[in-house]
Amino acid sequence: MPDAYSSLILPDVRLMITEEDRHGLSEFCQVLHPVVVATILDELQPREVWAVLDHADLRLRVEIFEYIALRRQAELVDELDKRRLSELLEEMSPDDRVDLLSRMPHDRVEDLLPLIAQAERNDIRRLLSYDEDSAGSIMTTEYASLPAKITVSDALQQLRQQAPDSETIYYVYILNSARRLEGLISLRELILAKPETRLADIMQQDVVRMRVDEDREDVVQELARYNFIAMPIVDADDRLVGIVTHDDAMDVVQEEATEDAYRQGAVEPLKDDYEDTPVLTILWKRGIWLLALSIVALMTAGVLDLYGTATAEGGARFGDAPAELTRTLILLFIPLVMASGGNAGSQSATLFIRMFALQPPDAAVPGTEFHVDRQLVMRELLIAASLGILLAVMDFLVVWLWFGLGVDRSAVVGVTVFLIVILGTSAGTMLPILFRRLGMDPAIMSNPLIAAIVDVLGVVIFYEVAMLLL
């Protein structure tokens, strides 16, 4: 299978690059499926990637390049001069090209556009203008279209000419002279029809279509509902402006599911896969929610404090005995401690479980799986330590200055929160890994279950820290 396979080929490819083996590299690009080539290139440095791709002709080079992840594509084009880059962009399919351009620095794009042919340039400007959640942002402008009045045999002839520049020719859209969508005919229907039949007589009318400004999620839902290979996209005047193909729709479904999973676990959605996202970005996307949730938990402490004072004898907040002090401190801040640990743990579990769900079946190259996991766990712990310090400092300051509970008791809360965030993250990271290793569904480690497990240990840590410091 591709991935375990690719690790076997990698040393050969490196050797061919070192030896500048033009013939070998050209064959490597041609013989394997472009997806497999792209997977292998993922393991190389940008310079090495181009040393390989330069030996494929432009068309194949672009095909392979389009299977590389967007973030990585943007890295790779940094290595190219303007001429080679404009050549690459001209050949790319319109939707992939625009995705890449919107990842590149604005200056560079403006620099490049004059080098690109007029037709492509207009196409780029139009596609770039659509909202990033709209149908326009995921459609391609390379579709097959024919007039209604021609015969089936003429249609097949014209389709052969359109094929190289069409993303799919399995659906052919019938347009009138104003480019309005009048009908649809599938290639299946075309080859079953008699050659002399006119398209107008066999085409499907009342074609399902969507508007270019509709939400991309809605477009994908409708494409799935009708089992379409492609959904036609029209402008406000019902003129066909593009199509959304099944493979791009599939990507959107996966992206939206990931976004929803992240939201559910209180992580702001990431632009790239979790593994490829820089630590600072993850810190921000998680920290913003952890902070917000901690503020609500501090409000809970405030409410507990009010009731505690109200119900205490003589309105006294704390008794004198040290034991009672500890218990009251614990009472006030146990919700904060538990929320901090549970939320950090939910975030980690969410990120890991979704990462596992999206990995190709053979991502685990024998012998390297453990290594990869350990790296990711170490990164999680680094993130947890940073988030833990952030929350600990905020909580310490609030307990000290707002609740006025003195430096020592505030320190107990701060230290406990720091430790519980580390603990929660460890649980949220390792339990899904453990379940996966055992061949079980890591998703069983739900947010509430992680939180529940962390709660029990949170009590222990809180009391132990309190007894140590007070």
Which of the residues 171 through 200 are near its own copies (CB under 8 A)?
Answer: 187-188, 191-192
Task: Please identify, using beta-carbon distances, which residue of 430 and 449 lies nearer to its own copies.
Answer: 449
Q: Does the protein bind its own copies through residue 358 (CB under 8 A)? A: yes
Task: Please identify, using beta-carbon distances, which residue of 41 and 353 lies nearer to its own copies.
Answer: 353
Type of residue found at 77: V
C-alpha 469/C-alpha 461 separation (Å) is 12
**Minimal distance in Å, beta carbon 301 to its own copies?**
9
C-alpha 22/C-alpha 16 separation (Å) is 8
**In this chain, which stretch among 41-49, 134-142, 297-305, 384-392 interacts with its own copies, using CB under 8 A?**
297-305
**Minimal distance in Å, beta carbon 202 to its own copies?**
14
Q: Does the protein bind its own copies through residue 409 (CB under 8 A)? A: no
DSSP sequence for 115-179 = GS-HHHHHHHHHHHTS-TTBGGGT-BS-EEEE-TTSBHHHHHHHHHHHGGG-SEEEEEEEE-TT-
**Minimal distance in Å, beta carbon 89 to its own copies?**
20
Task: Please identify, using beta-carbon distances, which residue of 85 and 234 lies nearer to its own copies.
Answer: 234
**Token representation of residue 372:** 């990869």
Residues 429-458 within binding reach of its own copies (CB under 8 A)? 441, 443-444, 446-449, 451-453, 455-456, 458
Q: Does the protein bind its own copies through residue 19 (CB under 8 A)? A: no
Element of type H or E holding 411: helix 406-437
Instruction: List C-alpha distances in Å: 444 to 13, 273, 349, 374.
Output: 41, 22, 10, 21
The sign of the torsion formed by the CA atoms of 416, 417, 418, 421 equals positive
C-alpha 134/C-alpha 88 separation (Å) is 26
The residues, any chain, with a CB within 8 Å of residue 194's CB and separated by 6 or more, are 152
Task: Please identify, using beta-carbon distances, which residue of 147 and 335 lies nearer to its own copies.
Answer: 335
Residues 312-341 within binding reach of its own copies (CB under 8 A)? 312-313, 321, 323-324, 326-328, 330-331, 334-335, 338-339
Q: Does the protein bind its own copies through residue 62 (CB under 8 A)? A: no
Residues 196-225 within binding reach of its own copies (CB under 8 A)? 206, 208, 214-215, 217-218, 221-222, 224-225
Q: x/- string (CB under 8 A) for its own copies, residues 229-268?
A: x----------------xx-xxx-xx-xx-xxx-xxxx--
Could you tell me if 179 and 240 are in contact, meaning their C-beta atoms sit under 8 angstroms apart? yes
**Minimal distance in Å, beta carbon 446 to its own copies?**
4
The sign of the torsion formed by the CA atoms of 247, 249, 252, 254 equals negative
**Minimal distance in Å, beta carbon 441 to its own copies?**
7
Q: Does the protein bind its own copies through residue 469 (CB under 8 A)? A: no
Among 284, 457, 283, residue whose Cα is nearest residue 384: 283
Which of 11, 361, 366, 367 lies at the binding interface for its own copies (CB under 8 A)?
A: 361
Q: Please, what is the Cα angle at 438 between 433 and 444, to 5 degrees?
A: 65
Q: Does the protein bind its own copies through residue 395 (CB under 8 A)? A: no
C-alpha 54/C-alpha 410 separation (Å) is 62
Task: Please identify, using beta-carbon distances, which residue of 47 and 160 lies nearer to its own copies.
Answer: 160
Task: Please identify, using beta-carbon distances, which residue of 46 and 302 lies nearer to its own copies.
Answer: 302
Among 336, 279, 285, 363, residue whose Cα is nearest residue 7: 363
What is the size of the binding site for its own copies (CB under 8 A)? 97
**Minimal distance in Å, beta carbon 397 to its own copies?**
20
Which of 16, 40, 56, 169 lies at the binding interface for its own copies (CB under 8 A)?
A: 169
**Token representation of residue 431:** 């339990």
Residues 266-295 within binding reach of its own copies (CB under 8 A)? 266, 289, 292-293
Q: How many C-alpha atoms does 152 have within 13 Å on its Cβ side? A: 16
Q: Does the protein bind its own copies through residue 83 (CB under 8 A)? A: no
Could you tell me if 193 and 202 are in contact, meaning their C-beta atoms sit under 8 angstroms apart? yes
End-to-end CA distance of the chain: 59
Residues 141-160 within binding reach of its own copies (CB under 8 A)? 156, 159-160
Residues 28-47 within binding reach of its own copies (CB under 8 A)? 33, 35
Which of 299, 378, 393, 397 lies at the binding interface for its own copies (CB under 8 A)?
A: 299
**Minimal distance in Å, beta carbon 46 to its own copies?**
22
Residues 88-127 within binding reach of its own copies (CB under 8 A)? none
The residues, any chain, with a CB within 8 Å of residue 375's CB and separated by 6 or more, are none
Other Cβ atoms within 10 Å of 122 Cβ, number: 12
3-state secondary structure of 338: helix
**Minimal distance in Å, beta carbon 43 to its own copies?**
16
Residues 410-429 within binding reach of its own copies (CB under 8 A)? none
Instruction: List C-alpha distances in Å: 452 to 263, 388, 442, 445.
Output: 20, 19, 16, 11
Q: Does the protein bind its own copies through residue 387 (CB under 8 A)? A: no
**Minimal distance in Å, beta carbon 440 to its own copies?**
11
Task: Please identify, using beta-carbon distances, which residue of 120 and 248 lies nearer to its own copies.
Answer: 248
Task: Please identify, using beta-carbon distances, which residue of 141 and 343 lies nearer to its own copies.
Answer: 343
